[in-house]
Structure 1
């Protein structure tokens, strides 16, 4: 009897050991699968400042303190990797759920960023060199870009794809943008110089403009216009009303900080009512246009360029519907519908 009990006990112990071995084996296999899915490769990036930065990719945690790149990451399907943002990264609205770690790249909360231990910090050129150095001294890779220049958007999108393992989506996004940039270039190339309108660009405050070698100047030229402030001695000049009136702008474009229709309408009416501009072609013919900053930077800047091209040359861009292109972009890459007011007056 004792022998039978002993034999039964041995069998039970053996069975338990087999179960433990099986469970352990299954756990190791699962872990191995997870590791293979997150296998990382060290890649070298040359950012918008020309600096080489080595980063282990794909990254898992990003602090992005520039709205143009935040939007690109969202469009790539990588918003879940963003653990910190700047106060201007508010589109799409889902980004507002992410903790704010900077008012802008100019004013980052270094302590919060360093404590969050991201795999990479992404900023724009407003980030001061000494602040970048402090982040790097803390062991954080830093990438700096400008997303307001049309020619740099493709670079940023490509590198964000490599950074997050979304190269295929990045290539599709670049192709979408390039298709419309090329359309603009091809049509504008056939224009004689005397058919390009004089454009006054305003941002931030009344009569504050943009001179040579600025994103606004590049986009005006791309869209087939002539920048009235091109010959100014400073990069961002504050013009006098009298000087501007003497230049007789044919088109006025003003950038608005928000997409609220009432604010855009008020800004539009304020410009039309300026005494010094009453005799200008732009005001007398009501060729004054207000645009949200959301269409002035990042991947959606191509939508802004389509609007500018159509405002400058309604005849040769009569078949182009910037609003429809905007809607398509949002549906395909942002998985959302077009809402809100992005330009005023509404496109016809």
Structure 2
């Protein structure tokens, strides 16, 4: 959770203000505001900084932005920004490239903050923020902190209210559903037969949209690196989910309908899947990784809700809703598909 110690007034370009913040990793960091030179050592900041109107303060970025989020990179105006490496590449985050920028602050996700703190001097002000949390209350605290350290409190509060309106739209219809009213689902990460539990990331997003996560009934499933569960293919065939969702990189699998259909066919052609209820009824979907792994999670949840509970959301158009959000806050929309097929639709193979 992030918090600000003391009060920060309006900060002008020629005025420096010393503040102390507690970032999402629970670390106390002293800063001199304004932050004019900012390095993004991880992805996850591609929406909040442009939304707050401070995207132009970014001087260098993670290699993950042009690689996995080229459209966001273009919207933010970071196409020509120097790279500081990618956390999951062999070379990891390039601290020398960060030092070359002489940044006022280095923004990173909580899971990599210790690594950077060990190699960067205190003057570079490593700050942990997390905008990929499916819990909107925790995300809101990070948005508030970002608003305060960039002197954009009003914009941050307005944006939080907007996100809450989307969340309330779904919760109003799904919070009273019984277990029997929730269809079962299996949600797969980027790795085959690896899934999230109901309290983790994508699994939480879908479970809070009117569906029931199959792994809730599982016993002693092996967990892997980030709390995911690794399934035996036979277990999935035996438990027969009513819906199947697969997280994909949009620029690779959702660039257009032809690529999406080809990727969908590859997914459902696995051994034995022709007997699964989800496959037989056409309830197998690919989804854009940012729907369940970004600051706009409440809008991503709308796509799952439309699949699970179409009779409760007859007028809901998730794609249009998401694009309205993008146009309002970022002045653009995704060139890729967000969900394939569209929520509530089934396709003949």
Task: Give TM-score scaled by structure 2 length.
Answer: 0.83
Asked whether the equivalents of residues 40 and 106 of structure 2 are also in contact (C-alpha less than 8 Å), the reply is yes
- Pairwise mapping of residues 202-217 of structure 1 onto structure 2 (< 5 A)? 202-211=188-197, 213-217=199-203
Residue 290 of structure 2 aligns to a residue whose secondary structure is helix
Question: In structure 1, what is the Cα distance between the partners aligned to 2:110 and 2:261?
Answer: 31
Residue 169 of structure 2 aligns to a residue whose secondary structure is helix
Shift of 1:121: 0.9
Counterparts in 2 of 1:218 and 1:36: CA distance versus 1, 3 Å:
closer
Residue of structure 1 aligned with 2:84, choices 95, 101, 107: 101
Residue 139 of structure 1 aligns to a residue whose secondary structure is helix
Residue of structure 2 aligned with 1:169, choices 149, 152, 155: 155
**Residue of structure 2 in register with 1:143 after alignment:** 127
Residue of structure 2 aligned with 1:117, choices 102, 106, 115: 102
Per-residue CA distance 1:232-252 (angstroms, 9 max, x = gap): 341222212111111111111
**Residue of structure 1 in register with 2:241 after alignment:** 249
Shift of 1:313: 1.1
Per-residue CA distance 1:295-345 (angstroms, 9 max, x = gap): 222222222111111111111122221112212112211122453312111
Higher gyration radius (CA): 1
Shift of 1:71: 1.9
Asked whether the equivalents of residues 62 and 119 of structure 1 are also in contact (C-alpha less than 8 Å), the reply is yes
Residue of structure 2 aligned with 1:291, choices 287, 291, 298: 287
Structure 1 gap segments, 5+ residues each: 1-34
1:159 matched to 2:145 = yes
Question: In structure 1, what is the Cα distance between the partners aligned to 2:43 and 2:83?
Answer: 12
Shift of 1:187: 1.3
Question: In structure 1, what is the Cα distance between the partners aligned to 2:242 and 2:78?
Answer: 38
Question: In structure 2, what is the Cα distance between the partners aligned to 1:184 and 1:41?
Answer: 41
Shift of 1:273: 1.8
- Pairwise mapping of residues 126-137 of structure 1 onto structure 2 (< 5 A)? 126-127=111-112, 129-135=114-120, 137=121
Counterparts in 2 of 1:227 and 1:145: CA distance versus 1, 3 Å:
farther
Residue 60 of structure 2 aligns to a residue whose secondary structure is strand
Question: In structure 2, what is the Cα distance between the partners aligned to 1:36 and 1:210?
Answer: 45
Counterparts in 2 of 1:170 and 1:105: CA distance versus 1, 3 Å:
farther
**Residue of structure 1 in register with 2:211 after alignment:** 225
Residue 230 of structure 2 aligns to a residue whose secondary structure is coil
Residue of structure 2 aligned with 1:49, choices 14, 19, 25: 25
Deviates more, 1:187-196 or 1:141-150: 141-150
Per-residue CA distance 1:125-157 (angstroms, 9 max, x = gap): 34162333222x352211223322222322222
**Residue of structure 1 in register with 2:330 after alignment:** 334
Per-residue CA distance 1:70-127 (angstroms, 9 max, x = gap): 3211222211011111122234223332221121377210111122111111111341
1:40 matched to 2:16 = yes
Task: Give TM-score scaled by structure 1 length.
Answer: 0.83
Per-residue CA distance 1:268-289 (angstroms, 9 max, x = gap): 1122222222222111111111
Residue of structure 1 aligned with 2:255, choices 253, 260, 278: 260
Structure 1 ranges of 4+ moved more than 3 A: 35-38
Asked whether the equivalents of residues 86 and 105 of structure 1 are also in contact (C-alpha less than 8 Å), the reply is no
Structure 2 gap segments, 5+ residues each: 1-10
Per-residue CA distance 1:21-48 (angstroms, 9 max, x = gap): xxxxxxxxxxxxxx95432322333222
Aligned residues: 313
Which structure has more helix as a fraction of its residues?
A: 1
Counterparts in 2 of 1:128 and 1:51: CA distance versus 1, 3 Å:
closer
Shift of 1:212: 5.3
**Residue of structure 2 in register with 1:69 after alignment:** 45
Shift of 1:253: 0.9
